[in-house]
Structure 1
Amino acid sequence: MRKLILSMIVMYAVPVYAQDDGSDALLRSLTDAAPPLAMERVEIELAPPLQIDQISGITTDESGNLYIFQRGAAADPIIVTDPSGRVQHSFGSGLFNRPHSIRIDAAGNVWTVDSNTSMVYKFSPSGETLLEIDVGDVPDPAAESCAAADIAVGANGLVYVADGYCNARVVVYDSGGRKVREWGRAGTGPGELNLPHGIAVSPEGEVYVADRENGRVQWFTTEGEYLGEWRYGGRVLSVAFSPDGELFISAEPKGAVPQQEATVLRIDRTDGSVVGKIDDFGHEIDVGADGSLLPASLTDRVVVYRP
């Protein structure tokens, strides 16, 4: 029995802050050579002020309103503001143990992921709960994060969940929340995953995954067929597409102090090369309709980079 327990601990251990595995030099060489992106850093002040903390995700609707997903106990988990930071409304109280990811689909619906419970919620823009998906298969419910990490909704209505903490898979649902398929297994080979932390659907419908601890981006068909990968080293935290199809990732070295040597990188989709950077941390990143970059700081700072 003791051997069984030990094997289970090893199986479900999550390398949240693993040390440099030799790939940090690659990431640093890529970021050092990249030119700064011509964008203005704007720190948004909420009005009226709210006591928030650990912003894990920021997204925006077509009008530029910000949807802030935060973990502080003094305010609702989801706070909606206009582009200047004036608070419009908030919602989600009592639903989340550990807010992790927030996205808005083409119809304006708001999707969230809890990395402790593996619950996915779909809301209307006003905060009405429209759908609940229990991803399940959480190996250790007592762990802070041992569940799903991110979500993406394709133009075909399919919902893709990066079930990265403890599990190494992508789980796919239809628009009604019924499971369609899953793919992925732990490892370093093609199509294998080591903490898939971010996910996004390209304009062509391919599924891009931020394979965090493998320091790479992989992409797949909607059926889960492996199509290719680009290696950047360190840990790749998030992946996002702009409305016109530009690709962005966020990354940081494994051996650095967390959040202190991080970058958001613009990627050339023809060859995976880095064509520009912003020196800032992005736990999750998103791109607004106007091309603004939205890196979630995991602090109380609401930061937007505007073109």
Structure 2
Amino acid sequence: MKRLALLAAALLANVANAAPLPNPYRAPERHWAHLPDGRRWGSSAGIEIGPHGELWAIDRCAANSCDGSFLPAVYQLDPKTGKPIRSLGAKMFAFPHGLHVDRDGNVWVTDPAVSKNGRMGEQVIKMTPAGKVLMRLGQAGKSGGGPKLFHDPGDVITAPNGDIFVADGHGTVALDLPPDTVTRIIKFTPDGMFVKAWGSLGSGRSQFRNPHALAFDSHGRLFVADRVNGRIEIFDRDGKYLAEYHAFNHPSGLFIDSHDRLYAVDYNSEGQKGIYIGDAATGRLEAFVPDDQAGEGVAVGPDDTIYEATPGGITRFRKK
């Protein structure tokens, strides 16, 4: 009887998720954010809201790489106008990707590539809002496994107690990779000491293929956007597998607001691209915001305005 009830509940959830979803947002405002001197945006994958509503975004130095560039890699933007307020991270990153702003306002950036000169990349760097480096995880220009090296770190997030979590394995996209290819979630103490790692390459429980983004809900559960596998895996902070959601298609970016509303950018959808909105507690979809861009990252302001990082810059969506 219990199994029948669970099956019925699953079928009802699938029916609800298959039904047309409302779109509570206006048309997208493309190329909304500005850069100094009228410079065009390069590719962006990271966007984040700070503890006081600050908006931060990555710009890959007016291109799709910062290797060899003297331009800043991270900008604080006015959330109302999109104008730049400050910048940081010049000559520090080869391929800035994941972006996180912690409770103290510090800015974290992942760099999942190695520069041509071998002096940058494969690191996670923590900075003050003014750009002072506070911590470096990983060894610059060196890729690998174990507790001291990264293999393409795609995203980073900190827990309320300061513990650091890194999604490692951004490059694990191809389907013919060796099974021992490093693909994992890594946990560090607040001061950067290795605690543990979990995960491997694959599509089973606690396995990943291109773990692309991280988010926490209000209960401290860690959500991992397992992009190529087309799901979100959920763990406790010790790495215990809890659940997985498949309704959000191929999630590239994640954001969970204070009401446990989950936003997921669908990057590689076989159908229509866009931003799925649902309940983080149940995985039930509530809305869909269509967008023909290949979104990479998503952040949501206190007024529910959505900011999307794309290969062509920053897009804003305001509620109807």
Shorter-chain TM-score: what band?
Answer: 0.7 to 0.9
Match of 2:46 in 1: 57
Structure 2: how far apart are the matches of 1:169 and 1:30?
A: 29
Q: Secondary structure at the match of 2:239?
A: coil
**Residue 255 of structure 2 corresponds to residue 240 of structure 1:** yes
Q: Quote the Cα distance in structure 1 between the aligned partners of 2:86 and 2:281.
A: 41
The C-alpha deviation readout for 1:224-273, integer Å capped at 9, x for no partner, is 000011113752212211133211111144557xxxx4111111234312
Given the alignment, which residue of 59, 74, 86 partners 1:78?
Answer: 74
Contact 2:251 2:264 in 1 (8 A): yes
| 1:218 paired residue number | 233
1:305: how far off?
A: 2.0
2:118 matched residue in structure 1:
none
Q: 1:45 to 1:215 in 2, by over 3 A?
A: closer
**CA deviation after TM superposition for structure 1 residue 277, in Å:** 1.1
Deviations 1:60-109 (A, max 9, x none): 32444322201124731112222212222211111101011111111111
Q: Normalised by the size of structure 2, how large is the TM-score?
A: 0.77
- The C-alpha deviation readout for 1:28-72, integer Å capped at 9, x for no partner, is x95772211335634424264233300121223244432220112
Displacement, 1:205?
0.7
| Paired residues of 1:51 and 1:74 also in contact (CA < 8 A) | no
How many residues align? The count is: 271
Structure 2: 5+ residue runs without aligned partners? 1-13, 63-68, 114-120, 173-181
Q: Where does 1:245-256 land on structure 2 (aligned, <5 Å)? A: 245-253=260-268, 255=270
1:102 aligned partner: 99
Note the alpha carbon deviations across 1:89-137, whole angstroms, 9 max, x for none. Answer: 2111111010111111111111111111221111111211111111787
Distance 1:163 1:31, change over 3 A: farther
Pair 1:288-2:285 in alignment: no
Equivalent residue letter for 1:34: L
| Maintained 8 Å contact 2:278/2:285 | yes
Q: Equivalent residue of 1:303, what SS?
A: strand
In the alignment, residue 133 of structure 1 is paired with which amino acid?
L
2:228 aligns to what SS in structure 1? Answer: helix
Give the root-mean-square deviation of aligned CA atoms: 2.7
Q: Does 1:262 align with 2:258?
A: no
Q: Which amino acid aligns with 1:123?
A: M
Partner of 1:92 in structure 2? 89
Indicate the percent of aligned positions where both proteins have the same amino acid. Answer: 24
SS at 1:204's partner residue?
Answer: coil
Residue type matched to 2:251 in 1?
V
Instruction: Tell me which of 246, 263, 277 is aligned to 1:231.
Output: 246
Which of 119, 125, 129 is the equivalent residue of 2:129?
125
Deviations 1:276-307 (A, max 9, x none): 011124201122233222211111x3212233
The aligned amino acid for 2:276 is L
Report the Cα offset of residue 164 of structure 1.
2.3
Runs of 4+ residues deviating >6 angstroms = none
Q: Does 1:180 align with 2:195?
A: yes
Structure 1 length-normalised TM = 0.80
Which has the larger displacement, 211-220 or 68-77?
Answer: 68-77
Q: Does 1:37 find its partner at 2:37?
A: no
1:157 maps to amino acid? G
Does the 8 Å contact 1:31/1:263 carry over to 2?
A: no
The counterpart of 1:67, out of the listed 56, 72, 89, is 56
Structure 1 gap ranges (5+): 1-26
